[in-house]
Structure 1
Amino acid sequence: MKPLPSISQSFSVKFEYKLHFTQHLFSLENPLLVDVLKEYNGHGATKMLFVVDSGVRLGHPNLFETIEAYCGHYSKYIQLTRIIEIEGGEAGKNDRNNLARVLDGINDFGICRHSFVVVIGGGALIDMAGYAAATAHRGVKLIRIPTTVLSQNDAAVGVKNGINEFGKKNFLGTFAPPYAIINDFEFLRTLGQRDWIAGISEAIKVALIKDAGFYQYIQENAKSLADREDEPMSYVIHRCAEIHMHHIAKGGDPFESGSSRPLDFGHWAAHKLEQLTNYELRHGEAVAMGIALDVTYAQMIGLVDEKVLNSVLDVFETIGFNLEIPINKDNGIEELLKGIEEFREHLGGELTITLITGIGAKHDVHEIDMDVMRKAIARRSVAREELSL
């Protein structure tokens, strides 16, 4: 029998989604959510399953009633099935029971590929609910309503979903764009100060690797950002999200099949620090420490000068970040350094660490001088009896 020829095929799929900005999303006078649904289905009511961060409900005690009133008012377009309340933060991504609850809701209420899961919360809950939505029926539609600075400017505007497993951040995950993202600034007003400033680290990150002018704006408005002024924070969120989304579309690798991930600047250490502190560190706080560490390393190997390093440290500290890395006094440095190999595994292949050669100028390296990095960690760290905050 003669061998049969191979069959090859290629195809492309266009993805499109919008990031909307509003205030008081569930006010009866605000038609934005309904307009989003009309764009998809202008005929009849669309099923919606809401997943809400318990911390958000605590800050907005009438949220469930407000959602129910809104859906009732617009019942021609919305069929509310259930509101599921789930613990937010990294704990929500560590507990498989939370994932099961969302999947149960999708199954129990017949959420199909023409229905919507609507997740309201911080980046961790959005990651987890997005993973559930992306795997049920091979993908049901998702609307993200992020409620923290970090999720509005970074975590919720990308195409990634995931949960933590085997003690590793985002070990299980998918690439699945949402149908839409809606940023409601009103959700930010009830944030504690740690969560208000934590997300700014992601804005500093993209500014340092992509936009010197944006970095200058953050530098000039650092005190105003710390003081919770609306206008500078609104601009920082919008510009950070814009750069992030532009990178996904124009970077040529939206599903990260390669090894270079500039948007993970500072993240090899950040992910490990979150794990080592049992996620007592906010992601944004860990990112700030990771960026400070990597810029310190960049200065020590001659990529940037002392002026750049001091500028970066000063901006973070003016906003209110503590940049001292909490390490175990006995073996903390070596434990943290394990994050480099774990990061390489997460990338899948060649190690690529993004550094900078100046403000707005990224520079990828494929190996780390471990002795120099140990010294950089020592400069940035504070020895503690245990890895706790």
Structure 2
Amino acid sequence: MNILDLQLPTKSSDYQILIGKDLLSDSNNFSSVIKGQQVFIVSNETVAPLYLKVLKNSLSQYETHSYILKDGEKYKSLGSLEDILDSMLKVGLRRNATLIALGGGVVGDISGFAAAIYQRGISFIQVPTTLLSQVDSSVGGKTAVNHPSGKNMLGAFHQPVRVVTDLNTLKTLPKREFLAGVAEIIKASVIADRDFFEWLELNTESILAQESATLATMIQRACGIKAKIVSLDEKEQGVRAWLNLGHTFGHAIERALGFGKLLHGEAVAIGMVMAAEYSVKLGLLSPSESVAIKRLTQGFGLPTNIETQVDDVSTSELVSAMALDKKNVDTDLTLILPKAIGKVTIEHNIKTQDVEQFIEQYLE
């Protein structure tokens, strides 16, 4: 088993990320961070039939309850959050209870938010079952639900007490969702680790074949990048914004299409390629490195072209959606752009008309 320690400025919030096989069936991975006797598990209708019984068996010494969420991004909503909280109240969860999120990013985000606001905050454990959630949403303590006006508009920072990443859960993950997770891994390498980017180029075939040793290394390196950035900037006041590379374009595409049509990782893949090409336009990134980012993304079978996804969406709709991004200041846009593979910059005061012109040219 691989163990990563995520250390935060408030040392009481430090926690471990466990990565390995058969972790769900070992009670020791949970018992050391569960303080009370009550455990409330949130999962969804896809994951629960596969892994809920195994997890409950590991927690047999506790009073366990569960809530099964419908599967899909559209259920990451205030209505679903209220249903979860109602269930928590009905079973009489006390303040020393522990919530466990068993599922992908939607389950992890909404469960973490529920834990953050239930009786002003209770402990929770992330058990991510998709590659995307294992390397991204489960690490760092950002929790949220969507609003019709934008993705993740309502949420809180609430760190888990542990992340338990069982590689066995990837065996039942659809290929499309696996590849969506790879998009976030490519993103991490572009942000902070050129050597890792080159490692991904060399190991593409092994990753696609889902060889266990390669996957463990890949997940650990990707989580290590995020853990380091989060440790420097827990509440996203500075460098943590780097992790949003590709997200301003990507979230806009998701919102314009309607949440759920594209997987989040697919939208990020397109957004990352667009950010690289916009960076070339500004003279920040060399054309050859932009091509390398697009080539690696395509090499994993990920979408890189907005045109094939948004036939019925106008450029102005996309720019309007980008204007809702939480990183923006005043009326201008803020974009995270690569300056080189392994190095990014936060660019403020990007004019919406310049981005609209770029997108129009991009679509030609």
Partners of 2:329 and 2:155 in 1: CA distance: 14
When the two structures are aligned, how many residues end up with a matched partner? Answer: 353
Aligned partner (choices 90, 99, 114) of residue 132 of structure 1: 114
1:97: how far off?
3.1
Q: Secondary structure at the match of 1:161?
A: strand
Q: Does the 8 Å contact 1:261/1:352 carry over to 2? A: no
1:49: how far off?
0.9
Cα deviation, 1:302-358, whole Å, max 9, x if unaligned, reads: 222221111111100111112121465576211111233211x45565743111121
Q: Does the 8 Å contact 1:226/1:318 carry over to 2? A: no
Aligned partner (choices 181, 206, 210) of residue 163 of structure 2: 181
* Counterpart AA for 1:67: L
Cα deviation, 1:269-289, whole Å, max 9, x if unaligned, reads: 111111122221010000000
Q: Does the 8 Å contact 1:297/1:372 carry over to 2? A: no
TM-score, structure 1 length as denominator? 0.84
Partner of 2:249: 269
Partner of 1:4: none
Residue 53 (1) aligns with residue 44 (2)? yes
1:48: how far off?
0.5
Question: Deviation above 4 Å: which 4+ runs of structure 1?
Answer: 326-331, 345-351, 369-372, 378-382
Q: Secondary structure at the match of 1:297?
A: helix
Unaligned regions of 5+ residues in structure 2, if any? 1-8
* Counterpart AA for 1:341: A
Partner of 2:63: 79
Partners of 1:277 and 1:132 in 2: CA distance: 27
1:101: how far off?
2.3
When residues 308 and 64 of structure 1 are mapped into structure 2, their CA distance, relative to the original with a 3 A threshold, is closer
Larger-Rg structure: 1
When residues 67 and 340 of structure 1 are mapped into structure 2, their CA distance, relative to the original with a 3 A threshold, is closer
Trace 1:67-146 onto structure 2 (pairs within 5 A).
67-72=55-60, 75=61, 78-80=62-64, 82-94=65-77, 96-146=78-128
| Aligned-residue RMSD, C-alpha | 2.4
Partner of 1:322: 303
* Counterpart AA for 2:296: V
Q: Secondary structure at the match of 1:55?
A: coil
1:115: how far off?
1.0
Aligned partner (choices 15, 19, 22) of residue 20 of structure 2: 22
Q: Does the 8 Å contact 1:162/1:172 carry over to 2? A: yes
Partner of 2:282: 301
When residues 378 and 313 of structure 1 are mapped into structure 2, their CA distance, relative to the original with a 3 A threshold, is farther
* Counterpart AA for 1:69: N
Partner of 2:6: none
Partners of 1:294 and 1:221 in 2: CA distance: 24
Q: Does the 8 Å contact 2:34/2:98 carry over to 1? A: no
Cα deviation, 1:86-140, whole Å, max 9, x if unaligned, reads: 123312213x332122212221222222110111001111101111111010001
Trace 1:238-277 onto structure 2 (pairs within 5 A).
238-250=220-232, 253-257=233-237, 261-277=241-257
Q: Percent identity?
A: 26
Residue 31 (1) aligns with residue 27 (2)? yes
Cα deviation, 1:51-101, whole Å, max 9, x if unaligned, reads: 11212135x2xx3433343333xx2xx222x2211123312213x332122
Residue 311 (1) aligns with residue 292 (2)? yes
Q: Secondary structure at the match of 1:271?
A: helix
Partners of 2:216 and 2:118 in 1: CA distance: 34
Partners of 2:17 and 2:82 in 1: CA distance: 28
Partners of 1:202 and 1:64 in 2: CA distance: 26
Q: Does the 8 Å contact 2:27/2:59 carry over to 1? A: no
TM-score, structure 2 length as denominator? 0.89
Partners of 1:328 and 1:322 in 2: CA distance: 12
Cα deviation, 1:213-260, whole Å, max 9, x if unaligned, reads: 11111121123222323222222211111111111112xx31124597
Aligned partner (choices 255, 262, 265) of residue 284 of structure 1: 265
When residues 313 and 380 of structure 1 are mapped into structure 2, their CA distance, relative to the original with a 3 A threshold, is farther
Unaligned regions of 5+ residues in structure 1, if any? 1-10, 383-389
